Amino acid sequence: MEGLDKVIHQPNRLRIMAALLALDPDERAEFTFLCDLLELTDGNLGAHLQRLQDARYVMIEKKFVGRKPRTYIWPTARGRAAFEAHVEALRRIIAGASED
């Protein structure tokens, strides 16, 4: 995979990580906000987030706001580092294999 991250290479997970890394460091994304932003179904977003959580790239917290369940997501330091390494690997590849 030439330094590319298998988990993040998948286009929707790349988009999810990019969206999460665009948050302020103390901010969390709400599940339905991510669904709307990325135009993913609940099921699809949920499956990708599970995969990202398994890799310990994101944290997921469910809590009740009044009677409503809410799910919040934010990137871990490990996830941030993995995203940055993936993007750097992409840059190296795109810059031309002949320059490596």
Give 67 or 98: the residue with its C-beta nearer to a second copy.
98
Region 1-40 residues binding a second copy, contact defined as CB under 8 A: 1-2, 4, 9, 11, 14-16, 18-19, 21-22, 37-38
Q: Report the C-alpha gap between 47 and 66 in whole angstroms.
A: 26
Distance of alpha carbon 77 from alpha carbon 75, whole angstroms: 7
User: In the complex, what is the shortest distance from the CB of residue 3 to a second copy, in angstroms, rounded to a whole number?
Assistant: 9
Pick the closer one to a second copy by CB: 3 or 69. Answer: 3
Nearer to a second copy, 11 or 66 (CB): 11
Burial of 4 (0-12, 13-18, 19+ CB in 10 A): middle
User: CA torsion sign, 4 to 83 to 40 to 63?
Assistant: positive
Q: Which of 24, 41, 67, 94 binds a second copy (CB under 8 A)?
A: 94
